[in-house]
Structure 1
Amino acid sequence: MGGKLSTKSEESRGPVPERLATELRGDILGGRLQPGARLGEVALAERFEVSRGPVRAALNLLSETGLVTIVPNSGARVRVMSRADARALYEVRAALESEAAMLAAAKAEAGTARRFRVLLDQHAQEVGAHPQGAYLQGAGDRDFHMVTAQMAANPIILRYLTRELYPQLSLLRVKHRNVTGRGAKALREHERIAAAIADGDSEVAGLLMRRHIRNSWIALEAQLSEAEKDTE
């Protein structure tokens, strides 16, 4: 898990805290550091062969994106997301992504429909292979929501989604995994949103995206309830 990232003599060369944060972010979102795991500065400094200063700075960066919780006099831990946290996250997601869908529709071009078709055909093959499973998407240009946000061409929305909201959603899924049984339904919802965007219908695109996010939350909330029952 990780390895030598920088020597103490190299700390002054390059953005060491950013590199540490990237390494730790990968461990957190990859599930190698589970929610609630303690992130001790001494242990991390030894792991990366740096002083505690860059480690502390890296943890602060991760705290700003919502992946790490820092408690005074207690230290840092991988964030544990409560049901209230998850609900708030989905409320913000619905607002930002519905607006992104509306903007994408307003800026639709001749190649928009084809771009979505190629992407969703790939997703359809994957969902067809595991129809009762989760809707697993690739990163970046293989993620429907990321593609929609890119089409919106609003740098502020894209920054909030990619730097804060999506990493926190990934953290939520580390613990609860992707909701099973949503694959085929989510794909159909994506197809309707894509059609509205390609048609340039901003109002319908925004409405369908908001409804899609709400359906996703309803499915996740049910899974959260089941998880709570299992721990009782």
Structure 2
Amino acid sequence: MSKLSTKSSDSQGLTSEVIAAKLQNEIVMGILRPGDRLGEVALAERFGVSRGPIRTSLKLLSEVGIVSIVPNSGARVRVMQRSDARALYEVRAALEAEAAMLAAQKASTKTTSRLGELLGQHAGEVQEHPKGAYLQAEGDRDFHLVIAEIAGSPIIERYLSRELYPQLSLLRVKHRFVTGRGAEALWEHQRIAQAITQNDPEVAKRLMYNHIRNSWGAIEAQLTEAERGSE
């Protein structure tokens, strides 16, 4: 969840930051869907605040990239276009490949234990649903954020968690029934983890880059198939 930073509030004490966090959670969870209108009056009534904090909250979510504000039209949950998603995955591939390389340079015995435990948990989940949306689940995100944390780069970790992942959640909400790669993704994660724990930065970087590109390739192919099916 993005940690938004405004302290604007009304007489009842709800800050714009708190309201924005609540709305962001609803967007990420799919309660508020892409294209849904976010009316200031309705939201002000819902949260029991004036329109000022609501306006600030929507501006914060617009800066994160998950709300679109159109002059004279208002705010809506952003609709993620394919070109936007492709661009995000390109940035993700570059950032996470760098994170994997840095993590491999700094990996320790503790790193091996941590990644092993996490992937063991994922293996059980994938075994139950081998073609499920593993790549789009919270656990997958945790794996990547753990690597970013091990890498020791606050900038990469912050950008992934506060901007990139919230935006990608819009794609996942819109296409929630797209099948995941399941076992293939887990295998790729295991190879990445092995390269990191063996302190092999170049291999870790290459494997992570290919993993993210494979993820996008699978999503794009299935989106194309879904679009053809709806014609």
TM-score with structure 1 setting the length? 0.91
Does the CA contact (< 8 Å) of 2:61 and 2:67 recur in 1?
yes
Question: Superposition pairs for residues 85-104 of structure 1, below 5 Å?
Answer: 85-104=84-103
- The answer to whether the Cα contact below 8 Å between 2:132 and 2:181 also exists between their aligned partners in 1 is yes
C-alpha spacing 1:228/1:179, structure 2 compared with 1 (3 Å): closer
Q: Greater CA deviation, 128-137 or 30-39?
A: 128-137
Corresponding residue for 1:24? 23
Query: What is the letter of the counterpart of residue 11 of structure 2?
Result: S
Distance 2:88 2:17 in 1: 25
In structure 2, C-alpha distance between the alignment counterparts of 1:112 and 1:201, rounded to whole Å? 14
Q: Does 1:169 align with 2:168?
A: yes
> What CA distance in whole angstroms lies between the structure 2 residues aligned with 1:105 and 1:230?
43
SS at the partner of 1:35?
Answer: coil
Specify the alignment match of 1:222 in structure 2.
221
Residue 227 of structure 1: CA displacement? 2.7
Matched position secondary structure for 2:31:
coil
Q: Are 2:118 and 1:119 equivalent residues in the alignment?
A: yes
Q: Which residue of 1 aligns with 2:5?
A: none
1:8: how far off? 5.0
The match for 2:76 is 77
Task: Tell me how far 1:114 sits from its aligned partner.
Answer: 1.4
Residue 9 of structure 1 is aligned with which of 8, 11, 25? 11
1:113 Cα deviation from its structure 2 partner: 1.3
Q: CA deviation at 1:181?
A: 4.5
Amino acid at match of 1:202: P
Q: How many residues align?
A: 222
Judging changes above 3 Å, is the alpha-carbon distance between structure 1 residues 18 and 99 closer, same or farther for their aligned structure 2 residues? same
SS of 1:92 mapped into structure 2: helix
| Contact 2:178–2:223 under 8 Å retained in 1 | no
Partner of 1:205: 204
TM-score, normalized by length of structure 2?
0.91
State the secondary structure of the residue aligned to 2:11: helix
Question: Match of 1:189?
Answer: 188
8 Å CA contact 1:104–1:153 kept in 2: the answer is: yes
**Gap runs ≥5 in structure 1:** 1-6
Structure 2 gaps, min length 5: 1-8
Q: Could you tell me how far apart the structure 2 residues matched to 1:217 and 1:116 are?
A: 23
Distance 1:139-1:212 versus aligned 2 partners, 3 A rule: closer
Structure-1 residue corresponding to 2:138? 138
Q: Give me the whole-angstrom Cα distance separating, in 1, the residues matched to 2:60 and 2:177.
A: 26
Deviations 1:71-124 (A, max 9, x none): 111111000011100100100000100001001011111221111111111100
Q: Which runs of 4+ in 1 moved over 6 A?
A: none
On the 8 A contact 1:123/1:137 being kept in 2, the answer is no
**Would you say the 8 A contact 1:8–1:49 is kept in 2?**
no
Amino acid at match of 1:121: G
Q: Secondary structure at the match of 1:70?
A: strand
2:3 aligned residue: none
Residue type matched to 2:138 in 1? Answer: G
Task: Give the drift of 1:178.
Answer: 6.5
Residue deviations 1:173-213 (CA, integer Å, cap 9, x gap):
00112742401000000000000000111100000000000
Contact 2:10 2:53 in 1 (8 A): no
